[in-house]
Amino acid sequence: MIAENLDEVRKRIDQACERAGRDSKEVTLIAVSKTKPLAMLEEAYAHGSRDFGENWVQEIQEKVPLLPADIHWHMIGHLQRNKVKYIIDKVSLIHSVDSVRLAEEIEKQAEKHNVEMDVLIEVNMAEEETKFGLKKDEVIQMVRECAKLPHVHIKGLMTIAPFVENPEDNRQYFKAIRELSVDISRENIDNVSMGILSMGMTGDFEVAVEEGATLVRVGTGIFGERNYNK
Ligand SMILES: *Cc1c(COP(=O)(O)O)cnc(C)c1O
């Protein structure tokens, strides 16, 4: 089941790349495994997944030691400052940096653990009240502040688009965040690159790929519906 789902999602990514004239090697599929048991992650791993996305610190702490060391773990959920210390040496990329104070805590813990941490700035493109992330016009200021932190490296932007019936409704947000990332990269800020655009989920990843996503985060489309009550 998971193997077939992975094949299907990868095929749809390839087709979206083809439509957009992109090389599908530019796009990495992150298998979003929150709430899912190890056996399911192992199945995805056996079928080639090396990038997994998780939302909760405790789940990362539990899963990382039990799975192969060549996995790249992505922290995609909202991160509280007091929990940074638990994941700093476990994840490859934090997608959800949305305040200078959080970036400063990542700096502090990275230095302490003697690691360098790659991060993305989370942008709430549709300005939904229920979502975390910066407003579009706050991003450049935030990037400038975080660029000064020597152990924190901004690699791009991330957005969670609204939940919509028709994925075309989100194209505007994907286009706009890509334009924002181009604008920021033109500023040539030291210690900042804009190579990564993390956008697109089960409902809208093809549109995101057409608009330039380099990381897509797919959960339900690979592992099936989640049960949060366990
Ligand atoms: C849960 C989650 C996903 C995956 O969502 P699906 O709709 O199941 O693909 C992607 N990104 C973030 C930030 C998430 O929290």
> Distance between CA 45 and CA 168 in Å, rounded?
31
65: CB partners within 8 A, 6+ apart: none
The mean pLDDT of 180-196, rounded to a whole number, is: 98
Reported confidence tier of residue 184, pLDDT bands at 50, 70, 90: very high
Ligand 1 site-directed mutation target among 12, 32, 57, 79, most atoms within 8 Å of CB: 32
Tens-place pLDDT, residues 189-209: 999 999 999 999 999 999 999
Enter the DSSP assignment of 123.
B
Ligand 1 site-directed mutation target among 199, 201, 206, 209, most atoms within 8 Å of CB: 201
Q: How much of the chain, in percent, has pLDDT values that exceed 70? A: 100
Q: What is the mean pLDDT of the chain?
A: 97
Tens-place pLDDT, residues 47-100: 999 999 999 999 999 999 999 999 999 999 999 999 999 999 999 999 999 999
- CB of residue 59 inside a 6 A radius of ligand 1: no
- Residue 22 token pair: 């992109």
Model pTM above 0.95: yes
- Tokens 């040539």 locate to 188
- CB of residue 160 inside a 6 A radius of ligand 1: yes
- CB of residue 202 inside a 6 A radius of ligand 1: yes
Q: What beta strand segments (E) does the chain contain?
A: 28-32, 51-54, 72-75, 93-97, 117-122, 152-158, 192-198, 215-218
- CB of residue 207 inside a 6 A radius of ligand 1: no
Protein residue with its CA nearest to atom 10 in ligand 1: 217
pLDDT of the residue at 135: 97
- CB of residue 167 inside a 6 A radius of ligand 1: no
201 alpha carbon – ligand 1 mean position (Å): 6
Question: Is the model's pLDDT at 230 over the cut of 80?
Answer: no
Protein residue with its CA nearest to atom 11 in ligand 1: 217
Relative to the CA of 76, which ligand 1 atom is closest? Answer: 13
- CB of residue 29 inside a 6 A radius of ligand 1: no
